[in-house]
């Protein structure tokens, strides 16, 4: 599982907590079969034991019946829980009135630079050359850090840095 967990993955985890597969069931069923049983559980809203019984009876009845059931179950699950690019859905946030972006003038930058320790100065100088539109806080925390993203959101700016980048 990646960063974004789908609803279906949450339901699978919940089912695994409620009724995990025993060692015997794991040896009898492959991973694919276990997933199919979970999908049967979701579709029929039944217990694990009922889903396994149905699965085994369908297997015994023939491959045509199994394929029909498999198609039915997978289409049901895909319709109910569509898999997308697994990108976190972003809804447009309401516009907030906040502070405008103020560029840090060179004099102000030099004054602040004098106040910090010498071993940290090079970090600020390099970052300011590469990202001239970044605020002091962003330079200190790192342009792409989580804290900088939260800082930009608090100040009604886009989450990602959209200033100039000098190479």
- pLDDT (0 to 100) of residue 91: 58
Q: Which residue has the higher pLDDT, 90 or 15?
A: 15
Residue 1 pLDDT class (50, 70, 90 cuts): very low
**CB neighbour class for 98 (10 Å; exposed up to 12, middle 13-18, buried from 19):** exposed
- pLDDT (0 to 100) of residue 159: 80
**Whole-prediction pTM value?**
0.47
In the predicted structure, residue 2 carries a pLDDT above the cut 50: no
Residue 163 pLDDT class (50, 70, 90 cuts): confident
User: Which one-letter DSSP state was computed for residue 98?
Assistant: -
Residues 33-52 have pLDDT tens digits of 898 999 899 888 889 999 99
- pLDDT (0 to 100) of residue 112: 86
Residue in this structure with the two tokens 């859905």, named with its chain if needed? 89
DSSP per-residue string spanning 123-151:
HHHHHHHH-TT--HHHHHH-TTSHHHHHH
Residues 58-86 have pLDDT tens digits of 889 988 988 999 899 888 887 776 655 55
Tell me what the mean pLDDT of segment 15-28 comes to.
88
Q: For residues 117 and 121, give the distance between their C-alpha atoms in angstroms, rounded to a whole number.
A: 7
- pLDDT (0 to 100) of residue 96: 54
In the predicted structure, residue 87 carries a pLDDT above the cut 70: no
């Amino acid at each position: 599982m990646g960063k974004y967990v789908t609803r279906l993955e949450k339901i699978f985890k919940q089912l695994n907590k409620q009724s995990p597969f025993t060692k015997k069931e794991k040896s009898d069923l492959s991973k694919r079969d276990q997933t199919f049983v979970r999908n049967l559980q979701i579709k029929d809203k039944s217990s694990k034991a009922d889903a396994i019984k149905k699965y085994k009876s369908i297997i015994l009845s023939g491959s045509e019946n199994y394929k029909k059931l498999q198609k039915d179950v997978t289409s049901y699950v895909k319709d109910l829980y569509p898999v997308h690019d697994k990108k976190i859905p972003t809804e447009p946030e309401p516009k907030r009135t906040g502070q405008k972006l103020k560029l840090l003038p060179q004099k102000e930058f030099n004054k602040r630079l004098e106040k910090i320790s010498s071993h940290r100065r090079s970090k600020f100088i390099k970052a300011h050359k590469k990202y001239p539109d970044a605020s002091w806080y962003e330079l200190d925390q790192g342009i792409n850090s989580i804290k900088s993203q939260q800082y930009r959101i608090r100040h009604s700016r886009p989450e990602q840095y959209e200033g100039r980048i000098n190479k």
